């Protein structure tokens, strides 16, 4: 085991990475708060600044994937589709099977210049997660309670507000509503059968309201829908903790572009279009499991140095005074001061672990189990 490989497994190193992410995130959130004074004066300047502030935070996570774990991401698509990446507003539909599916999406956003301006339809609970939810708030992310009667007006208003967004954005939709588990899949397929819809093997039944509303509200702004089907070679099931430990994975993404004009205007027909899309996604996953590849040409966009340089800059600024402080604490010889510091370290490690826990499948929401609860 080389020195770098050894360091990747050490808790102290993980704690330092977490320290840089958390403290830089708090600094970024404070600066974002200060930018609110620009909103009534120059809304577009506010947006451009917050795109770059968000990039400085999100790119630290992308750095872990690209430079720390050296995970490879391969696209299966065509040259015409690749040529449009980062040059148009788009709605992204991504399967929700893995703990780091969002991170693989972010690395593609970074490589095509839309990481800072990336959007998502997020569950409202995430708004209260420090750093992540707070940053999203300043980015005008659309939050929902996932109760359509309560969400409808909020979602429509939030989507329409993005119509004049000054940077190219990719708007992510997890149409399944929650991460795939066997229990959720069983319940979902019971619902599909009760509605006369074909069974899916690798996906949950898509929730159509968010998709049809997003497409309707963003017409005239968004040029296309990108359907992205993600899987990992070797039947791996990666985690954010695995990435932190430097484990390398190989992600494959099949990307299909659908011009928005091809999606029906009628809500019911658009919902049927989405169900058909998920049947096709299921067939793609079946092909991948049998052949180990998706159809289409293979592209591996080169990673860019900016994520690494951004992290190193923050680490230089934040770790130098931290090391000086720690040396001062132990040099003081004060048991109370040393114990207080160790208690702070323990609390910090717990906080970082809780942030990582947001991505874990077993910590996911019970959203997909609501029908199951009703039956019981």
Q: How distant, in Å, are the alpha carbons of 11, 64, 184, 245, 246 from that of 8?
A: 8, 11, 34, 5, 6
**Residue 258: partners with Cβ closer than 8 Å, 6 or more residues away:** 224, 225, 226, 227
Q: Are the C-beta atoms of 357 and 130 separated by less than 8 Å?
A: no
Q: Are the C-beta atoms of 41 and 221 separated by less than 8 Å?
A: no
Residue 1's pLDDT is: 62
Does an H or E element contain 122, and which? strand 119-123
Q: Are the C-beta atoms of 209 and 148 separated by less than 8 Å?
A: yes
Q: Are the C-beta atoms of 32 and 138 separated by less than 8 Å?
A: yes
Report pLDDT digits (tens) over 41-84: 999 999 999 999 999 999 999 999 999 999 999 999 999 999 99
Given a cut of 70, the residues of the chain with pLDDT beneath it are 1, 348, 351-376
- Characterize the bridge pairing of strands 90-94 and 250-259: unpaired
The model's pTM is 0.89
The rounded distance, in Å, linking the Cα atoms of 249 and 237 is 9
Residue 105's pLDDT is: 95
Report pLDDT digits (tens) over 292-341: 999 999 999 999 999 999 999 999 999 998 888 888 877 887 888 778 87
Residue 346's pLDDT is: 75
How many residues in total does the chain contain?
Answer: 376
């Amino acid at each position: 085991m080389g020195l770098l490989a050894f360091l990747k497994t050490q808790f102290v190193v993980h704690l330092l990475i977490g320290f840089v992410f958390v403290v830089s995130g708090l600094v970024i959130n404070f600066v974002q708060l200060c930018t609110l004074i620009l909103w009534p004066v120059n809304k577009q300047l506010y947006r451009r600044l917050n795109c770059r502030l968000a990039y400085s935070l999100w790119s630290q996570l992308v750095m872990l994937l690209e430079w720390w774990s050296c995970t490879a991401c391969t696209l299966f698509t065509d040259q015409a589709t690749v040529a449009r990446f980062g040059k148009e507003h788009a709605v992204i539909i991504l399967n929700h099977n893995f703990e780091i599916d969002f991170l693989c999406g972010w690395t593609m956003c970074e490589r095509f210049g839309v990481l800072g301006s990336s959007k998502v339809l997020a569950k409202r609970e995430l708004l209260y997660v420090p750093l992540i939810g707070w940053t999203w708030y300043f980015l005008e992310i659309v939050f929902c309670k996932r109760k359509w009667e309560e969400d409808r007006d909020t979602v429509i208003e939030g989507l329409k507000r993005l119509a004049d967004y000054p940077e190219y954005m990719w708007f992510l939709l997890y149409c399944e509503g929650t991460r795939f588990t066997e229990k959720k899949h069983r319940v979902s397929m019971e619902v599909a059968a009760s509605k006369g819809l074909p069974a899916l093997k690798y996906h949950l039944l898509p929730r159509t309201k968010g998709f049809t509303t997003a497409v309707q509200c963003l017409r005239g702004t968004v040029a296309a829908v990108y359907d992205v089907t993600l899987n990992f070679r070797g039947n791996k099931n990666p985690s954010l903790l695995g990435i932190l430990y430097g484990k390398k994975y190989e992600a494959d993404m099949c990307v299909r572009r659908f011009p928005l004009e091809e999606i029906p205007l009628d809500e019911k027909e658009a919902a049927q279009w989405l169900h058909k899309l998920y049947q096709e996604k299921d067939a793609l996953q079946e092909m991948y499991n049998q052949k180990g590849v998706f159809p289409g040409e293979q592209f591996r966009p080169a990673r860019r140095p900016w994520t690494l340089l951004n992290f190193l800059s923050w680490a230089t600024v934040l770790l130098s005074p931290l090391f000086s402080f720690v040396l001062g604490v132990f040099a003081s010889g004060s048991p109370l001061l040393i114990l207080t510091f160790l208690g702070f370290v323990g609390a910090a490690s717990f906080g970082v672990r809780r942030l990582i826990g947001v991505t874990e499948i077993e910590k996911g929401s019970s959203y997909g189990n609501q029908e199951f609860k009703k039956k019981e």
